[in-house]
Chains A and B, each alone.
Chain A
Amino acid sequence: MGKKRLTMRRKESIYGYIFVMPWIIGFLAFTAGPLVFSFMASFTNYNITSQMDFVGVDNYQRLFTEDSLFWTSLWNTLYFVAFSVPLTTIGAILLSALLNQDIPGIRFFRTLYYLPAVLSGVGVYLLWMQLLDPGTGMVNLILSWFNIDGPNWLFDPDWTKPSLILMKMWSVGGSMLLYLASMQGVSKSLYEAAEIDGANTWKQFRHITIPMITPVIFFDVVTSLIGGFQIFQEAYVMSSNGEGGPANSLLFYNLYMWRQAFENFNMGYAMAMSWILFVIVFVLTLINLKLAPRWVHYEGEEK
C-alpha cells in the first residue's frame, strides 16, 4: 500500500515537471542564460563582433567618473519617475473614488475613462506630438481660452518631461480599475458603522477606503516604479531621430543604453549600465517591501 502511494506521488511529480518544463527551458534560454552572460560581459569591452577582452571594473568606473551623459540620463529618469509615479497613483485613486458611486451613467463613465489605458504604441505618441504642438495643437488652444500662453512642450527642454507625464496621466484608467475593483471589495458594513458614528464622506474615504486598498496601492507603486525606470519608446519616438529631445532632456536611461548597445555597439559598456539599473530597481523594491508593513493593511491580520 505505502509503496504504491509513493509511486503515485512520484508519477505526479513527473507530470508536474513536464507541465512546467516549457517555462524552465524558456527561463534558462531567455532569462537566466542571458543574465549570466550579461553579467560577465559587463566586465569586458565586448562589441558583438571581434573583441571581448576582460577589462575589470573599467566600464563601471568610466560610467561613474567620466560619462556625463550617464548622469544626465539617470537624472532624467529619476525626474520622470519621481513625478509620474505619485501623480498617476494619486490620480488613479481619486478617479476610482469618483467612479465608485451609484450615479446615473456610471457604467458609461467607467468604460470611457478606461479606454485610453488600452491604447499604446506609436499611434498614441504621434497623437500627443500633435496635441502638444505649440502652434497647431489642441492643448495650447485650450490653454489660450483661459488666457494662458502655453509652453513649447516637446521643443522646450524644461517642458519635455512634463509633456510625457501629462501623456501618462491620460491613461491612468488602467490602475484606476485595479483600485475600483479593490474598493468594491470593501465590506459595506464598515461604511454603515461609520455612518452611525457620524463620519462624513471624506472621513470614510480617509479612514476606511484608503486603508482597505493599501495592498493595491502597494502593488501599483511597486510595479509602476519598475515600469517608470524603463521608459524608452515614448522618448525614442517623440524626439527627432530618437536622439533624446532638445538638450538631451528626454535622454532617459534606457535610451542612452540603447544608443551605447545598438548604435555604438559598446555592448560591454551597455550591459554594465543595465546592471546598475537592475541594482537601483532592486534596492528600491526592497525598500518598498521593508516599508510595507508600516502602512499596508492586510485583512485578517488583526488580532
Chain B
Amino acid sequence: MAKTTDDASYVEKKDGLKTLSGTNENPGYFEHRGNRKNLLKLINFILLAAGSLLILSPLWWMISTSLKTMAEVMSFPPTFFPESWNWANYIRTWEAAPFTRYTINTLTITTLVVIGNVISNSFIAYGFAKIPFRGKNILFAIVLATMMIPGFVTLIPQYVLFAKLNWVNTYFPLVVPAFFGSAFNIFLLRQFYMTIPNELIEAAKMEGANHFYIWWKIGLPLTKPAIATVAIFSFNGAWNDFLGPLLYLNDENLYTLQIGLQVFKGQMNTQWNYLMAGSLLVLLPVILLFFFFQKYFIQGINLQSGGK
C-alpha cells in the first residue's frame, strides 16, 4: 500500500490471478479431510502431468521433424527422436526462400503497428477514462459494439476504399488503421486508467497542467504495465497477421513471414523437415516473447475478466 505510485501496484489491487506464478490462495479446504483430499490431489497431479505431455508433444514433434532427413520423415512408422540431428536443415530452409527479406518486412510492419497502437489507444483511453464530456457513454458503447461486427463485413468495403486510394501493394492498409485505436485495446487501457485515482489528475490540474501534459507525464508512465500488454498483443497480432498481407500485398518483395511461409508451403510440397524448420523459425520470436513477458500476457487476461 505504501508504494502507491509504483507501476504495478494498481493492478495488484484487483482481484484474481496476478501472474502465472502467483500462488493460489483459494483452497484452504484441503487440510481437513486428510487422505481423500490427498488422493484427489494426486489424481489431479497425474492428470495434469499426462496432459502436459499431450500439450507439449506437437511442439516436440515440430522440432524433431525439422531435424530429420527426408528419408526418415517418410519412414514408417514415424520416429519420435531423429536418428541424426541435421541442423543444416535450418540453413537450407532459410536459403530456400527470401526469409531475410520477409523478416525485415514483417519487422517494419510490426514496429509501426505497435507504435500506432500504443500511442493512439493510450490517448483515446485516457479521454474515455478521465475526462467528463457529453455523449461519452454513448460513444463508449459504440466502441464496445464494434467488437461485435464480423471482420469480413468491413473487410470488403475497406478493400474498396484502400484500392481507390491506391494503397494496394503498400503497407498503408496494414499500418494506418493502427493509429486510430481499436476497441479491444481502448477497453483494456480504459480499465487500467480507471484504477488511477482521480485526485492525482485533479491535483495536477490545480497546478495548471492541461490534459495533454497530464496524459504524457502522468498517464503514460502510470499505465506502463498495461501499455506493455497492449504492445505485446499488438506485436503478436501483427506478426501473425495473415489475412491483411494476403489481401493487400501481391509484390513478392513486400511479403511478410506469414505469406512467405504459405508460399514456401507451396514450393516444398510435403518436405516436412523444411516446412517444420520454417514454421519453427517463424514461431520462435513469439515463443521467446512469451517466456520473457508472461506477466503482461496474463495481465491482459486479468483486465479483460475484471471488466465483466
Contacts and interface: CB of A to CB of B under 8 A. Distances in A.
Contact of A183 (B26, B55, B131, B272): B26
B92 interface: no
A99 to B, nearest CB: 7
B133 interface: yes
Contacts of A259: none
A210 interface: no
A136 B58 contact: no
Interface stretch (A55-63, A68-76, A116-124, A153-161): A116-124
Interface stretch (A13-21, A81-89, A243-251): A13-21
Contact of B301 (A13, A41, A133, A181): A181
Given A103-B41, A177-B17, A26 B180 contact: yes
Interface string A76-99: 000000000000000000010011
Contact of A267 (B124, B153, B160, B246): B160
Interface in A109-140: 109-116, 118-124, 126-128, 130-131, 133, 135-138
Given A102-B30, A136-B73, A34 B240 contact: no
A103 B182 CA distance: 40
Contacts of B133: 12-17
A103 B131 contact: no
A21 B209 CA distance: 21
Secondary structure at the B interface, as helix, strand, loop or mixed, is helix
B104 interface: no
A184 B141 CA distance: 29
Contacts of A133: 270, 272
Secondary structure at the A interface, as helix, strand, loop or mixed, is helix
A285 B158 CA distance: 24
A192 B25 CA distance: 13
Contacts of A18: 127
A33 interface: yes
15 contacts: A23-B181, A30-B177, A98-B51, A100-B27, A101-B24, A102-B30, A111-B294, A123-B282, A127-B62, A135-B74, A136-B272, A184-B16, A204-B29, A261-B156, A262-B159
Interface of A: 9, 12-20, 22-27, 29-31, 33-35, 37-38, 41, 48, 95, 98-107, 109-116, 118-124, 126-128, 130-131, 133, 135-138, 141-142, 144, 170, 174, 177-178, 180-186, 188, 191-192, 195, 201, 204, 215-216, 219, 226, 229-230, 232-233, 236-237, 254, 257-258, 261-262, 267, 270-271, 274-275, 277-278, 281-282, 285
Interface of B: 15-17, 20-30, 32, 37, 40-41, 44-45, 47-48, 51-52, 55-59, 61-62, 65, 73-74, 76-78, 120, 123-124, 126-128, 131-134, 136, 139, 142-143, 146, 148-161, 163, 177, 179-181, 186, 210-211, 215, 236, 239-243, 246-247, 258, 261-262, 265, 270, 272, 275-276, 278-280, 282-283, 286-287, 289-290, 294, 297-298, 301-302, 304-305, 308
